[in-house]
Amino acid sequence: MSPKAAVEQVEAKRAVPEPWLRWLWEQFGTLGVAILLALSIRAFVIEPYRIPSGSMLPTLLIGDHLFVNKFAYGVKIPFTDWRLPSWREPQHGDVVVFTVVRDRLGRIYPADQRPDLESDRFVKRIVGVPGDTVEVRGGVVFLNGQRVPSQETQDTFTDENGRVLRVGREDLDGHPHAILDDPNLTGPEKGPVKLEPGRYFMMGDNRDYSNDSRIWGTVRLAEIKGPAFLLYWSWDWNGGWASLLNPLTWWDLIAHKMRWDRIGHSIR
């Protein structure tokens, strides 16, 4: 065999994958691609979020699972505060998921004020955008000196603790939505505050039982993940995932705990 032919034969052998490498690809290659695709979608397109508390009642119930549109306000580039071009700016009335931080005592801070603390995710409604002056007095929201239109209804809502709350309707700059009011309680108030550029004022729809910007301050655009847009799952379930392995649990979930009528609804 000539030296040239020998070299070509060696190169050809190198081009053929080892059998064990082929076996690994055949067994796990598709799974790996699927996982990479799922992680990419979660990082740049949509992100799931579970509602853990009643601060957004009656709009969002405890046990609702929703998708967040991470494209709407511009995808955030990992490990920076930079965002890609957005479809639109955050607006009054948007229901958004954003990041805050907690200390060991459970106190909440805007994420940019205490970057040393552990992060957490909240969902609230945008009440004020940059340049607005927001005031909350006597359970009423004032925006730029004008009372935000609201009215009482004849409906009531009973929360997870058995409290009977009054249902009202509020219109934030053309975005009507339901709010709750406890007739026996006055929620947190806030004196007039003018929002700085890039900062947003968040409030829960369950006005008397929401830990929001009235207490811990405003949120930067950099911490807003995006608007919530779709309920993909909903159940009245507080148990751990391990208990779902018990088949006796399944019938109770299907028959009594699932909120089938909420699945697929858009969030307004």
Structure-model confidence comparison of residues 68 and 76, the more confident one: 68
Catalytic residue check, 124 = yes
Cis peptide before 58 (omega within 30 of 0): yes
pLDDT at 14: 53
Which helix (H) or strand (E) segment holds residue 47: the answer is strand 46-50
CB atoms within 10 A of CB 15: 6
Please give the average per-residue pLDDT across 219-245, as a whole number: 85
Q: How far, in Å, CA of 206 to CA of 160, rounded?
A: 12
How far is 252 from 266, CA to CA, in rounded Å?
A: 26
How sure is the predictor about 249, in pLDDT bands with cuts at 50, 70 and 90?
confident
User: What is the overall mean pLDDT for the chain?
Assistant: 85
Q: Domain spanning 50-226: which CATH class is it, in words? A: mainly beta
User: How far apart, in whole angstroms, are the C-alpha atoms of residue 221 and residue 246?
Assistant: 43
| Mean pLDDT, range 25-41, rounded to an integer | 54
Place 72 in a pLDDT band, splitting at 50, 70 and 90.
confident
Q: What is the pLDDT of residues 163-173, one digit of tens each?
A: 999 999 999 99
Q: Is the dihedral of CA 188, 150, 124, 127 positive or negative?
A: negative
Q: Where are the domains of the chain?
A: 3-37, 50-226
The pLDDT assigned to 257 comes to 84
Instruction: Supply the pLDDT for residue 10.
Output: 46
User: How large is the average pLDDT for residues 127-142?
Assistant: 96
Residue 247 has pLDDT above 50, yes or no: yes
Fill in the DSSP letter of residue 188. Answer: -
C-alpha 71/C-alpha 94 separation (Å) is 14
User: 215: closest CA among 227, 226, 201, 225?
Assistant: 201
Active-site annotation holder among 70, 124, 190, 225? 124
pLDDT above 90: residue 62: yes
Lowest-confidence pick of 32-46, 131-145, 226-240: 32-46
Cα 196 to Cα 92, 108, 122, 125, 151, distances in angstroms: 16, 20, 21, 18, 30
What is the chain's length? 268
Mean pLDDT of 120-136: 98
73 in Cβ contact with 226 (< 8 Å): yes
Query: Does residue 55 carry a catalytic annotation?
Result: yes
- Predicted local confidence at residue 226, as pLDDT: 94
**Can you give the pLDDT at residue 7?**
45
